[in-house]
Amino acid sequence: MEKYRLLKEIGDGTCGSVYKAINLETNETVAVKRMKRKFYFWEECMNLREVKSLRKLNHPNVVKLKEIVRENHELFFIFEHMECNLYQLMRDRQSPLTEAEIRSFMSQVLQGLAYTHKNGYFHRDMKPENLLVSNGTIKIADFGLAREVMSKPPYTDYVSTRWYRAPEVLLQSSSYTPAVDMWAIGAILAELFTQSPLFPGESEIDQIYKICTVLGTPNSSIWPEGMNLPRSFNFRLFQIPPANLSEIIPNASLEAIDLIGQLCSWDPLRRPTAEQALQHPFFHVRTWVSTDLQDPFVPMPHQTGAKPKLELNLWDFGESDDCFLGLTLAVKPSVSNLGVVDNAPHNSGEDIIFCSGYQDHSRQSVFWPLVSPNCDVNGVPVMSSLPSPYMVNSHSSHTAIGVPESSAFCVPALQPNLLDGHLFGPMMTLSLPIQQGHYFQ
């Protein structure tokens, strides 16, 4: 340890104390965790769960263990240095975290947790103090209670800080799963909005009571296996209906409330995994593409006249439950007279203007054939590139919106996945209904 100089103590726990230090050889600032117990053999150091897990894990959102030093029967862990933990960040802020900041932090934590679970470990002590923050980056730390996913039960029920302890642990289940980490993530997510713990129990019985006041008392339909756990008789003491999470966390969006509700489910089988949580709409709202695609019809020197422009826009029309994202794909003409693109093969499906979601007509999708004004509309070739369920023709009985009947044809929006992977790739999807239109100027 002679190459490290300890500067100040920055944390103290049951197993060890953490110091800010400097590497005298490289001038790098590090964090040194000094274990409180003595270690007389190197093998017992290497068998520590914290050592075994951190030696295996290498992820941007998992704190990096740089070195292990044993000196005079004392054990030191050398970690990368982070500015503060999430609890300190919340405590020292003058204003609450914005939802965008919360989304960024929780996305990073879930990525680190998904990686940890995938590589065979669950943390068992997720809490704000064990999430380290520096320059907008957050990392999972303190793997002292980590356990192998494939290890055999029974497991101890004395894990995690009480406020973030999953109900199956509180009720003395001996075979819990990585879902205990997901319960803690839900409690942390709620705390980031409210700046106070969601379940601040003062004892284990009071902890169960606090959970009941928020989630309501469970029963055999809500959590069948939980009714048979050793301490399930405690539920008889608390017959409480569930509270409204939106009233408890008023500054959270509906997407955040839904995610918290899923993570904090009584039944661990109903909680999403870390990978599933990352797919929740909370992490995929308010997407905005402000720049149109480049014009694919830029005239070549030997070509004359302007060609239509292909535009792709993604639109966000608010926070309605039934619509998060709208999509329009259209050909915006560069000249006043529309004509079929000369070099596009017939029956390719490329000579089509597509639009959906006009005001008050959001249950229809409208197709305009790109034909010249003098062309016979009835002679437009069938679009053979469309899958058979979407084959349409100009004799449809539906009425087009905003254009004469003779120049458009419609299909009801009964096949919402028209653009999903068939023509334009998996990244383009169609969401209906959309409440605003006016896509063509």
Pairing label, strands 65-71, 352-358: unpaired
The residue annotated as part of the active site, out of 12, 92, 125, 292, is 125
Task: Please say whether the beta carbons of 395 and 287 come within 8 A.
Answer: no
Task: Please say whether the beta carbons of 127 and 163 come within 8 A.
Answer: yes
Question: CA-CA distance, 269 to 395, in Å (whole number)?
Answer: 52
Count how many Cα atoms sit within 13 Å of the Cα of residue 297 in the half-sphere of its side chain.
Answer: 20
Task: Tell me the three-class secondary structure of the chain, residue by residue.
Answer: CCCEEEEEEEEECCCEEEEEEEECCCCCEEEEEEECCCCCCHHHHHCCHHHHHHHHCCCCCECCEEEEEEECCEEEEEEECCCEEHHHHHHHCCCCCCHHHHHHHHHHHHHHHHHHHHCCEECCCCCHHHEEEECCEEEECCCCCCEECCCCCCCCCCCCCHHHCCHHHHCCCCCCCCHHHHHHHHHHHHHHHHCCCCCCCCCHHHHHHHHHHHHCCCCCCCCCHHHHCCCHHHHHHCCCCCCCHHHHCCCCCHHHHHHHHHHCCCCHHHCCCHHHHHCCHHHCCCCCCCCCCCCCCCCCCCCCCCCCEEEEEEECCCCCCCCCCEEEEEEECCCCCCCCCCCCCCCCCCCEEEEEEECCEEEEEEEEECCCCCCCHHHCCCCCCCCHHHCCCCCCCCCCCCCCHHHCEEEECCCCCCCCCCCCCCCCCCCCCCCCCCCCC
Instruction: Tell me whether residue 125 is one of the annotated catalytic residues.
Output: yes
Question: CA-CA distance, 105 to 192, in Å (whole number)?
Answer: 10
Task: Please say whether the beta carbons of 77 and 33 come within 8 A.
Answer: yes
By annotation, the residues acting in catalysis are 125
